[in-house]
Structure 1
Amino acid sequence: MGTVKVEQYTVVGYMNAQLPNGVPFHASSLVIQPRGVAAYDDNAVGDEPFLFINFPKTLEVKTFPMEPQEKGDVWAYLGSAFTGYASNGELGIERLNDAAGPLKAHFEFEVSGEGTPFKVTDGAFELQVSERAHTDEATGAAGAQVEPALEGNNGFNATLINLNYGQDGKPNSLLIVQQRDLEYGLSDLGAFIRLDTDGVLGVRAVVGNGLIAADEGSLDYSDFHYEEGVALSFVFSFSFRWKGKVYRFEKGRVKLDLR
């Protein structure tokens, strides 16, 4: 596995929304990714409820229409008792930063797929993003094999590693993805990992521009080690379903030097 720079950010903020059947969603910690923001409800059981908003490639203070994930530049995903990608909706960016992206926005969307249609309404998020001081030299490597091969790819070696921290100064998520030299035009392959200082809390596969929940009970990790400002490492494996087929990340490894 090749070594790359570890991008480290502290993210403070919130996300609120009304889920189907009037269920309120509130997240007091957010996770930024290169093209979006993710949030887990404060009362999440496992990995749900979970919301992800994908940002437009060109950022402006304006309202953008949401489209289906496979077609659109701006899209959303809800993982909960109701699950699915937005079929339509809007994202209104109210304040942004050239480096960090949208800092305040509102959103709503509708999902109309194979199941019963539903809406997410009154969505809003606000965040503050700061790069952690004295982390310019942090480097690391991460990757995994995938069985069977996914679109001709036998695994991934991360070319992007993002480690996010919450307001308490502790890590809360890790994004490890390969974004170049993938077969069949795939843009991204990797994993989004929710964690704390004691271990891994949940995982999602990243395939293309999608976030895919791990099969229940499939996550296996060991040798977890975190030392503040020094190192983060562990090994992992988990299964997920993509286009109706089961895949498994095997022999996954994360080894970060945070000094």
Structure 2
Amino acid sequence: MNLDTFDCIADNAKGCVVATLPTGEPFVAEVVVFDTLGGVMGIRKLMQEGESFVYIGFPLDIEDGDHLVGQGGVSAHLGGDQSGVAEAGRVQGLKWNRTDGTLTGKFEFSGKDENGQAFTVTGGEFNLVVSDCSQALQAQTASTACAIIAPALRGNTRIGTTTLVLDDRERPSFIEARQTLDLVGGVWRLGAAFFVTYDEQGLPEITRAFATVDNGGYLARDVSITRMNWVPGEGLSFDFALSFDYNGTLYTMHDGRVDLKL
């Protein structure tokens, strides 16, 4: 599959993600997202039933070259009618120019879905120009976020944190409620991440959400955002609820609240 054949709608990156799904069907992302914690996600049939995505996660300090899935913080995930975390795979020829934002590579991975059925994603490629990829994320510790998780995720039943990570204090387009302390079950990071856009009047809207577990990002479904309050230069707050698949189990975050102080 030739990447140059396709022109995808982009979120915070320009470019495309393509692959061949386990059914043999070609996957062409309609939306491309760069995970500012490290990773590339291609999404097809955005916010619709039957939506599918592929996600390749990696550390922000990853070196150019070939990498095995499951080593060095490299992960992969397939979402859709058949969903699961990769058990094996590789990213080949990764090249990331952090000056001009170009990020390219090829990938393939395999695993088992929530029903124990094997799947393989082949012929994957990504070719992106990432917007503001060199901008450092900032931690804002005067803020708060919380949510209840059901069922318990590896023994963790809630998020409660005073650390929110964002990309811009004046007009954030990425916000993550990140908990790294007081977690159990071997979980070292747990939270929710939100992508924010602004309309012509400068009013914010949550366009995409993810659950974050360890080094993985999991596309949220049934996202509900209510009671949003935006005061430029001061803060952004909202209530949220969402659901996501993790290791074959459907989880919900409910009674969620983000109170970001800028």
Q: Which runs of 5+ in 2 are unaligned?
A: 1-10, 199-203
**1:55 aligned onto 2:58:** yes
**1:232 aligned onto 2:233:** no
CA–CA separation in structure 2 for the residues paired with 1:199 and 1:211: 20
Which of 125, 128, 137 pairs up with 1:126?
A: 128
CA–CA separation in structure 2 for the residues paired with 1:60 and 1:15: 21
CA–CA separation in structure 1 for the residues paired with 2:139 and 2:218: 31
Matches within 5 A, 1:37-48: 37-41=40-44, 43-46=45-48, 48=51
Give 1:234's aligned amino acid. Answer: F
Matches within 5 A, 1:35-184: 35-41=38-44, 43-46=45-48, 48-56=51-59, 59-67=62-70, 73-91=73-91, 92-97=93-98, 103-113=102-112, 114-115=116-117, 117-130=119-132, 140-147=143-150, 149-158=152-161, 160-163=163-166, 173-184=174-185
Contact 1:32 1:164 in 2 (8 A): no
Relative to the length of structure 1, the TM-score reads 0.70
CA-CA distance at 1:242 after TM superposition = 4.7
CA-CA distance at 1:172 after TM superposition = 5.4
Q: Which runs of 5+ in 1 are unaligned?
A: 1-9
Contact 1:65 1:90 in 2 (8 A): yes
Change (3 A) 1:244 1:77: closer
Computed over aligned residues only, the root mean square deviation of the Cα atoms, in angstroms, reads 3.9
CA-CA distance at 1:60 after TM superposition = 1.6
CA-CA distance at 1:253 after TM superposition = 0.9
Change (3 A) 1:162 1:96: farther
CA–CA separation in structure 1 for the residues paired with 2:240 and 2:251: 14
Matches within 5 A, 1:11-22: 11-20=12-21, 21-22=24-25
Post-superposition CA distance 1:125-156 (Å, at most 9, x none): 323342669x8989633222334544443422
Instruction: Considering Cα pairs closer than 8 Å and 6+ residues apart, tell me whether 1 or 2 has the greater RCO.
Output: 1
User: 2:4 maps to what in 1?
Assistant: none
Contact 1:235 1:254 in 2 (8 A): yes
Q: Which moved more, 1:32-41 or 1:156-165?
A: 156-165
CA-CA distance at 1:187 after TM superposition = 0.9
CA-CA distance at 1:123 after TM superposition = 0.8
Give 1:124's aligned amino acid. Answer: F
CA–CA separation in structure 2 for the residues paired with 1:39 and 1:123: 10
CA–CA separation in structure 2 for the residues paired with 1:170 and 1:193: 13
Give 1:104's aligned amino acid. Answer: L
* Number of corresponding residues: 237
- Aligned residue for 1:97, secondary structure, equals coil
Identity of aligned residues (%): 23
- Aligned residue for 1:190, secondary structure, equals strand
- Aligned residue for 2:185, secondary structure, equals helix
- Aligned residue for 2:181, secondary structure, equals coil
CA–CA separation in structure 2 for the residues paired with 1:120 and 1:171: 35
CA–CA separation in structure 2 for the residues paired with 1:194 and 1:46: 18
Change (3 A) 1:138 1:228: farther
Relative to the length of structure 2, the TM-score reads 0.69
Give 2:211's aligned amino acid. Answer: A
Change (3 A) 1:62 1:246: closer
